[in-house]
Amino acid sequence: MERITLFKEMLVQAEINNFYIGTGNPNADILIIGKEISVDPKIDKGNMQCQTEMSNNIMHWKRDVGKNQKDIENYNGSNYSPLYPYKGQKLIINNNKNGGTSRTWYNYQKLYNLIYPENKIEGIINFHEGVFITELNDSPSPKTRDANKDSLAKRKLFIKESQFFKSFKVVLIAGLGYFKIKVGENEIEDIFYVKFTDEKKIKDFPKQKYWVHQGISLPKLLINTRQLSMYVTNELLEEIAEEIKKSLHGLEPYNDYRHY
């Protein structure tokens, strides 16, 4: 079944359950799952961002689901699209004046440039062209410890049952702690139909780790690692990028949906 059909089916279910979907290219090979959007909904700017990115996510997708990414205009403050959010955003850390991005998206872009160097645009955020992003927790919070986690169980089931989320070649879980992993119980294996194969540590940075999983019935790579925000070394991003590139080159391609 075509990816866009799977996406539209998922959109219907998300609207029924009032679930946040995500942003980026639905036809990408790579899915990134973060913890939650790191904004404070209790302040005016944070509340506006939550409304734009999360509360209106389904409404915006229903409007833009048939559009082409290249037809999305650069962001001007009022033309937000989840298909290509904040298009034209600068690859610098935001200081509220420079038109920059979050530290997390900054590192997403660094990772994307390592995986797809041929797609790099100097000084610009464009990883949405080859990545789809969602959050496991749909309750925004600047700090995970303060986040409302009531929706986690339903969100996990939603992702597990979604054929759309199952269809990605590569899944990167960027945030530890939201999945139960212990002897005899591994939620990542259960939800994503993968099997843990290896733990890898970055040389000279022993706390920089990632865990590799492979698909059981479908060709798939899943990597679980820390949040790609603070204290992320270039070495960690480089090793993860190499794992993803090797996997993408070794997997049979899905149908090509280049109209996105």
Answer yes or no: is 171 within a domain. Answer: yes
Per-residue model confidence as pLDDT tens digits over 169-188: 999 999 888 898 888 889 99
**Local confidence band at 260 (pLDDT 50, 70, 90 cut-offs):** very low
> Are 2 and 159 in contact, with CB atoms under 8 Å apart?
no
Residue in this structure with the two tokens 């070394």, named with its chain if needed: 233
Length of the chain: 260
Q: Would 259 be classed as within a structural domain?
A: no
The pLDDT of 192-197, averaged and rounded, is 94
Mean pLDDT for the chain?
90
Q: How many Å apart are CA 250 and CA 246, to the nearest integer?
A: 6
Residue 20 lies in a domain: yes
Q: Is residue 69 part of a domain?
A: yes
Query: Is 260 a member of any domain?
Result: no
Asked if residues 73 and 87 have their Cβ atoms less than 8 Å apart, the reply is yes
pLDDT (tens digit per residue) in 124-159: 999 999 999 999 998 888 888 888 888 899 999 999
Closest to 237 measured CA to CA, from 213, 214, 260, 205: 205
User: Does residue 38 register a pLDDT over 90?
Assistant: no
Assess if residue 255 is contained within a domain: no
13 Cβ partners below 8 Å, 6+ apart? 19, 158, 162
Examine the pLDDT at 256 and tell me if it is beyond 80.
Answer: no
Question: What is the structure's pLDDT at 208?
Answer: 93
pLDDT at residue number 42 = 82
- pLDDT given at position 254: 38
3-class secondary-structure state, position 194: strand
Task: Output helix, strand, coil percentages for the chain, rounded to the nearest 5.
Answer: 35, 20, 45
| 47 within some domain | yes
* Beta strand ranges found along the chain (DSSP E): 23-24, 30-34, 131-135, 170-174, 181-182, 185-186, 194-202, 205-215, 221-225
Flag whether pLDDT at 2 surpasses 90.
no
What is the domain count for the chain? 1
pLDDT of residue 251: 58
Tokens at 254, concatenated:
């899905």
Helix (H, G, I), strand (E, B) or coil at 90: strand
Range of the domain at 112: 3-250
Per-residue pLDDT tens over the stretch 217-245 = 777 999 999 899 888 999 999 999 999 99
Looking up residue 235, the CATH number of its domain turns out to be 3.40.470
Predicted structure pTM score: 0.92
* Band of pLDDT at residue 16, cut at 50, 70 and 90: very high
| 256: in domain | no
The confidence score (pLDDT) of residue 257 equals: 30
**Percentage of residues in the chain having pLDDT higher than 90:** 70
Examine the pLDDT at 121 and tell me if it is beyond 90: yes
Residue 253: is its pLDDT beyond 50?
Answer: no
